[in-house]
């Protein structure tokens, strides 16, 4: 039996570790941000939590504003790391992870560019600073990203078996957060605006933490073989004849030759030609090469004695090349043991 341990296990372990670290960031960020606004709220003597918005806790005239500033920055950094890990996880698509990272960048900016006054309810007052205006803009971006990311991901998760179990809870949390944010923006419960805002943000961050927890619990941190080198196998009965063909005729470089396998370098991919006691000809392709100019490749191999296969009912040209409806061009040939091999030039190449 042919065995091979040529797998970049170090790369796989590194990817898994980074994925798990990013997932933990998706939990730690929301928890630390929540702890920051809770501590910051308690530090504002004479101002109930319902009267101070989250951004106000980091304002210049707030007490211990560095607590809330740190909360914004930590949340942002953790969200960026979580989004990056999510982008590498299977079944998450592209838009959702990028929205998570965009929200993280905006959160960091919200901490770096803080408001002027603790009790400020909006822009436009006399003497408003430029960093106050920047804060309001990036806060809006952070809100939008925090709401859009879980909604996009929940929609994606519905069709993914590994994620489907949390698709509905994530969607409900995001929609509830959006509803609370709408109430907050409408000033319908103005005396309780601070509480409604905290509720909205907490629900959105709970959705993020739930996704991160699923990554950890379901071990969805990276495709297991994403960083592993692919190995191709071709069975043959005669290793000597196979070497003469694959090395001498096709021009592949031999990197190992043992009684268990002839190891070849096929354009950077390991191809192991392995001996078997019996082998019947297979009518399907077992290995193939993508070439930039199939006609030139066919002529070159034909000049070395390779015969290209013709199939009844297929419109092949004089060289034996078939053109698919989409424009891809394919030609087939066999090795000494009857294994079907192919050359392909894709239409977009």
DSSP string of 113-156?
S--S-TT--SS-STT--HHHHHHHHHHHHHHHHHHHHHHHHHHH
**Statement to judge: residues 197 and 123 lie in one domain:** yes
**Domain-terminating residue out of 190, 217, 244:** 217
Most confident stretch, 15-24, 193-202, 212-221: 193-202
Residue 246 within any structural domain of the chain:
yes
Confidence of residue 227 (pLDDT cuts 50, 70, 90): low
Residue 4 within any structural domain of the chain:
no
Residue 126, pLDDT > 80, answer no
Residue 197 Ramachandran class (φ > 0 left, ψ -120 to 50 alpha, else beta): alpha
**Parallel, antiparallel or unpaired: strands 340-345 and 329-334:** antiparallel
Q: What would the pLDDT profile of 132-158 be if each residue is shown by its tens digit?
A: 889 989 999 999 999 999 999 999 999
pLDDT the model gives residue 281: 76
Residue 1 within any structural domain of the chain:
no
Report the distance separating Cα 76 and Cα 25, nearest Å: 10
> In the chain, what are the helix, strand and coil shares in percent, each to the nearest 5?
50, 15, 35
**Statement to judge: residues 121 and 238 lie in one domain:** no
Q: What would the pLDDT profile of 11-32 be if each residue is shown by its tens digit?
A: 556 777 888 899 999 999 999 9
Residue 339, pLDDT > 90, answer yes
CATH number of the domain residue 253 falls in: 3.10.180.10
% of the chain surpassing 90 pLDDT:
68
**Who's near 301: CB < 8 A, 6+ residues apart?**
249, 250, 308, 333, 343
pLDDT the model gives residue 257: 93
**Statement to judge: residues 65 and 34 lie in one domain:** yes
**Who's near 28: CB < 8 A, 6+ residues apart?**
74, 78
Span 165-194, average pLDDT: 90
**Statement to judge: residues 126 and 266 lie in one domain:** no
Report the distance separating Cα 218 and Cα 337, nearest Å: 44
Residue 223 within any structural domain of the chain:
no
Give the domain range for residue 17: 9-217
Confidence of residue 60 (pLDDT cuts 50, 70, 90): confident
**Statement to judge: residues 86 and 184 lie in one domain:** yes
Report the distance separating Cα 227 and Cα 225, nearest Å: 5
pLDDT the model gives residue 223: 56
Span 151-176, average pLDDT: 94
Confidence of residue 61 (pLDDT cuts 50, 70, 90): confident
Residue 51, pLDDT > 90, answer no
Confidence of residue 1 (pLDDT cuts 50, 70, 90): very low
Report the distance separating Cα 321 and Cα 283, nearest Å: 17
Residue 225 within any structural domain of the chain:
no
**Statement to judge: residues 169 and 312 lie in one domain:** no
pLDDT the model gives residue 46: 75
Between residues 163 and 18, which one has the greater pLDDT? 163
pLDDT the model gives residue 122: 46
**Statement to judge: residues 290 and 200 lie in one domain:** no
pTM here is 0.64
Residue 120, pLDDT > 50, answer yes
pLDDT the model gives residue 217: 83
Residue 85, pLDDT > 50, answer yes
Residue 91, pLDDT > 90, answer no
Three-state DSSP at 261 gives strand
**Statement to judge: residues 266 and 181 lie in one domain:** no
Q: Which helix (H) or strand (E) holds 201?
A: helix 193-217
Q: What would the pLDDT profile of 278-326 be if each residue is shown by its tens digit?
A: 988 778 999 999 999 999 999 999 999 999 999 999 999 999 999 999 9
Number of domains in the chain: 3
pLDDT the model gives residue 241: 95
Residue 7, pLDDT > 70, answer no
**Statement to judge: residues 91 and 198 lie in one domain:** yes
Residue 4, pLDDT > 50, answer no
């Amino acid at each position: 039996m042919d065995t091979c341990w040529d797998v970049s296990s170090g790369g796989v372990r590194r990817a898994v570790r980074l994925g798990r670290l990013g997932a933990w960031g998706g939990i730690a960020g929301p928890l630390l941000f929540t702890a920051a606004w809770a501590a910051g709220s308690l530090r504002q003597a004479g101002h109930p939590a319902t009267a101070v918005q989250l951004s106000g806790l980091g304002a210049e005239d707030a007490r211990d504003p560095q607590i809330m500033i740190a909360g914004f920055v930590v949340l942002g950094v953790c969200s960026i790391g979580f989004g990056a890990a999510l982008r590498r996880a299977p079944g998450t698509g592209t838009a959702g992870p990028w929205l998570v990272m965009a929200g993280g960048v905006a959160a960091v900016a919200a901490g770096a560019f803080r408001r002027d006054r603790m009790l400020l309810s909006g822009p436009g007052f006399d003497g408003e600073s430029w960093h106050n205006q920047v804060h309001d803009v990036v806060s809006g971006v952070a809100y939008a990203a925090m709401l859009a990311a879980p909604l996009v991901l929940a929609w994606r998760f519905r069709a993914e078996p590994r994620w489907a179990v949390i698709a509905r809870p994530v969607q409900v949390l995001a929609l509830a957060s959006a509803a609370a944010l709408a109430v907050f923006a409408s000033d319908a419960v103005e005396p309780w605006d601070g509480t409604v805002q905290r509720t909205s943000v907490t629900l959105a961050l709970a959705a993020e933490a739930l996704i991160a927890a699923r990554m950890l619990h379901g071990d969805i941190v990276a495709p297991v073989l994403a960083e592993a080198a692919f190995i191709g196998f071709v069975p043959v009965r005669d290793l000597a004849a196979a070497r003469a063909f694959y090395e001498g005729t096709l021009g592949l470089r031999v990197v190992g030759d043992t009684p268990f396998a002839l190891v070849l370098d096929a354009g950077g991919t390991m191809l192991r030609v392995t001996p078997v006691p019996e082998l019947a000809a297979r009518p399907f392709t077992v290995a193939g090469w993508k070439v930039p100019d199939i006609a030139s490749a066919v002529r070159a191999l034909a000049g070395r004695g390779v015969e290209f296969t013709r199939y009844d009912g297929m419109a092949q040209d004089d060289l034996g090349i078939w053109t698919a409806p989409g424009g891809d061009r394919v030609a087939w040939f066999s090795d000494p043991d009857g294994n079907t091999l192919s050359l392909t030039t894709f239409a977009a190449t």
